[in-house]
Structure 1
Amino acid sequence: MTSIGALVVSASCLLSACGGGSDEPTTGASASADGGSAAAAPGVKLITPGKLTTCTNLPYEPFQFKEGDKVVGFDVDMVDLAAKKLGVQQEIVDIDFAVIKSGAALNAGKCDVAAAGMTITDERKQNIDFSDPYFDATQALLAKKGTGAKSLDDVKAKGLKLGAQASTTGLDYVKGKGFNPTEFADSPKELLGLQSGQADVIVQDLPVVLTWLKKPEIADKFELIASLDTGEQYGVGLKKGNTELLKVVNEAIAAAKSDGTYEQIYMKWFGKKPGELGTT
C-alpha cells in the first residue's frame, strides 16, 4: 500500500528542553490522504495539531529505517493507518529505546505514540499502555559461519561469546537462560560487534536478522543458526490513560486485519504472509 509520508525530527536533546530550531523536521512529508492537517478525531488530543508524533529508535530495519530522506518500514505503515483515520500526517522522532520503553518520552510530551518493534511485556505495561498486538515476533541467533552451534545450549557448551541489544526482550531472554552477554546500544552496533569479533553469536528479532541476511556481505560470513520461539507480540505504546487515542489505534489495526490491508503491508516488508515468516 502507499504509505503516508513521515516526517523525521531530531531528538538529540532527548528529554531536555530544546532551544532554537532543534526540534524542526529534517525532511518533508506528504499530506495525509484526507488532504493535510485536518483536526484529529473528537476527544483525541495530539501534542502537535495536525500531526501524529511517533517515537521510534532508528534504524531497526525492516520496522523503521531511513530510505533517502524518509523514514519507512512496517511500523511506519502501521502507524500511518491511525494517522489516516485521524486525518493527520505522521511525524517521527528518533530517540533512545530505553527512553521509549520506560514511558519517559511519552510522559514528557515528546510523542503521541511509540512504535519501535516494541514487545508487549508486563514490566513495560507498568509504564505505558499498549495497543492490541500488531505483530507476532520471535528471536533468532545469528553466528559467524563455522561455529557448529545450532542452539543456545551449543553456544554455552562451546564457550562462544554472545551479544545482545541493550534494553530488549532478546537480552532478557538470554539472561534468563543463564547468559551474561555483551550488550550493544542498538542493532547496527550489535551487528558490528559480531562482524568485529566482539561476539561470536548475537540474539536479535528474527525479521531483523532475515533482513541483514539479504545483504551478500552478511550472508557470505554469517548464518542463522536457530529461531527462539519466545511468544512475543509487538504493540504500539501510548501514555497511560490516553484512552481516546488508544481506541483509534486499535480500530485502525483491526480494520487493516479485516480488510486485507494488514496482509498487504506484511507482504510488502517481509515477502511472506502473516504466519509464514521464518519458513522456507
Structure 2
Amino acid sequence: MVAATAGCSSTKSSGKGNGDVELVSSGKLKTCTHLPYEPFQFKKGQKVVGFDVDLVDLVAKELKVKQEIVDTPFEGIESGEDFNINKCDLAAAGMTITPERKKKFDFSDPYFDATQALITKKGKDFKKLSDLKGKKLGVQQATTGEAYAKKNAKGLEVVQFEDLGLLLTAVKNGQVAAGINDNGVLLDYIKKNEDTEVTAEFDTGEHYGIGVRKDNDALLKVINKAIKDAKSSGEYDKIYKKWFGKAPEESGQ
C-alpha cells in the first residue's frame, strides 16, 4: 500500500546524553503522520503544525536535528510497515496505544488521554449508537473509532473513510447520519463548524503514544525523556493550551 522512500539510509545522531540514535536520514527526525488530524497535525498554509508537531519538535531538539513530516496513509503507520521500510523514525498521529499495535511496533509513554465521541449535524438527537439504528455511521479506517463502531454498532451501516477530513465532510453534507472519532479532534472541529455538535462521548480510556520501530530503544529513551521533561518544566502545559485553549486538568496526562 505504501512505497519505500528511495535513498533511505541509517545514520546516527549522538546528542548529548542520548547515546547513538539511528535516524533514517542524516540531520532529520522523520515523523510519519496522516493529515489532516486537527489540532494534532494539519496544514496551515504550506506548513504542517499542531500539538503532536510541537511535541516531536522537543524530541528533535534533544537530538539536535530538525523534524521532517512525512504525510502517509494511516494504514502504513498502523500496520508497522512504514517502520519496516525505513520511511520514518517515529510516528506521531494522534495514535492510541493498543495491544494489537504493540505487537507491530513500540510505543512511547502515554502523552495524551482520549476517548471516542459521536459527531452529528446540529439538532439531531443521537445520544447513543442505538439511536442510529437503520442509519449510516461514518468511521475513519484503521482507527480505534472504527473498531469501537464495529463492536458496538448494531443494526446500522458502518461507512469507512480514508481520513478524518472526508469523514467530517460526510457528516456535514448528510452522507452519513453521524461520525465517530477521537473526542479531541471532534471537539476542536465543532468550534469552527457550528452546524455540527458532539452529542455523546464513550469512555474508552484511550492513551496516545508515539510509535517507533521494534527494539529502537535508544530513540524511545529520548522520546520518553522529552515528554517527561516537558511535563516537569511546564512546556507540555504551554503546548496543550496553545492548541486546546486551556491547560490540561492534570499535567501528568
* TM-score normalised by length of structure 2: 0.90
Deviation at 1:126, TM superposition (A): 0.6
Residue 39 of structure 1 contacts residue 50 of structure 1 at CA under 8 Å; is this kept in 2?
Answer: no
Of 239, 242, 248, the match for 2:222 = 248
Larger strand proportion, structure 1 or 2?
Answer: 2
Residue 140 of structure 1 contacts residue 205 of structure 1 at CA under 8 Å; is this kept in 2?
Answer: yes
Q: CA RMSD in A?
A: 1.8
Aligned to 1:275: 249
Cα separation, 1, equivalents of 2:38 and 2:123:
26
Aligned to 2:149: 174
Residue 118 of structure 2 contacts residue 200 of structure 2 at CA under 8 Å; is this kept in 1?
Answer: yes
Partner SS for 1:249: helix
Residue 95 of structure 2 contacts residue 210 of structure 2 at CA under 8 Å; is this kept in 1?
Answer: yes
**In the TM superposition, what are the counterparts of 1:138-177 in structure 2 within 5 Å?**
138-156=115-133, 159-177=134-152
Cα separation, 1, equivalents of 2:160 and 2:249:
30
Of 29, 43, 46, the match for 1:52 = 29
Q: Which amino acid aligns with 1:145?
A: K
Residue 4 of structure 2 contacts residue 87 of structure 2 at CA under 8 Å; is this kept in 1?
Answer: no
**In the TM superposition, what are the counterparts of 1:30-45 in structure 2 within 5 Å?**
40=15, 41-45=18-22
**In the TM superposition, what are the counterparts of 1:200-239 in structure 2 within 5 Å?**
200-215=177-192, 218-219=193-194, 221-239=195-213
Deviation at 1:259, TM superposition (A): 1.1
Cα separation, 2, equivalents of 1:86 and 1:42:
10
- After superposition, give the CA deviation of every residue in 1:225-248 in whole Å (9 maximum; x if it has no partner): 111121000000000010000000
Cα separation, 2, equivalents of 1:91 and 1:223:
34
Deviation at 1:16, TM superposition (A): 3.9
Deviation at 1:68, TM superposition (A): 1.5
Partner SS for 1:251: helix
Partner SS for 1:62: coil
Partner SS for 2:191: coil
Runs of at least 5 residues in structure 2 that lack an aligned partner in the other structure: none
Aligned to 1:14: 2
Cα separation, 2, equivalents of 1:198 and 1:70:
30
Cα separation, 1, equivalents of 2:42 and 2:153:
32
**In the TM superposition, what are the counterparts of 1:42-191 in structure 2 within 5 Å?**
42-156=19-133, 159-179=134-154, 180-191=157-168
Partner SS for 1:213: helix
Q: Which amino acid aligns with 2:3?
A: L
Q: Which amino acid aligns with 1:177?
A: N
Cα separation, 2, equivalents of 1:17 and 1:51:
14
Partner SS for 2:142: coil
Aligned to 1:6: none
Cα separation, 2, equivalents of 1:147 and 1:56:
32
Partner SS for 1:229: strand
Deviation at 1:198, TM superposition (A): 1.7
Residue 122 of structure 2 contacts residue 196 of structure 2 at CA under 8 Å; is this kept in 1?
Answer: yes
- After superposition, give the CA deviation of every residue in 1:109-155 in whole Å (9 maximum; x if it has no partner): 01000000000000000101000000001111111223222122322
Aligned to 1:31: none
Residue 41 of structure 2 contacts residue 49 of structure 2 at CA under 8 Å; is this kept in 1?
Answer: yes
Deviation at 1:175, TM superposition (A): 1.1
- Please identify runs of 4+ aligned residues in structure 1 that moved more than 3 A: 16-19, 38-41
Deviation at 1:18, TM superposition (A): 4.4
1:199 matched to 2:173: no
Deviation at 1:273, TM superposition (A): 1.9
Q: Size of the alignment, in residue pairs?
A: 242
Cα separation, 1, equivalents of 2:153 and 2:242:
37
Q: Which amino acid aligns with 1:263?
A: D
Partner SS for 1:272: coil
Cα separation, 2, equivalents of 1:200 and 1:124:
30
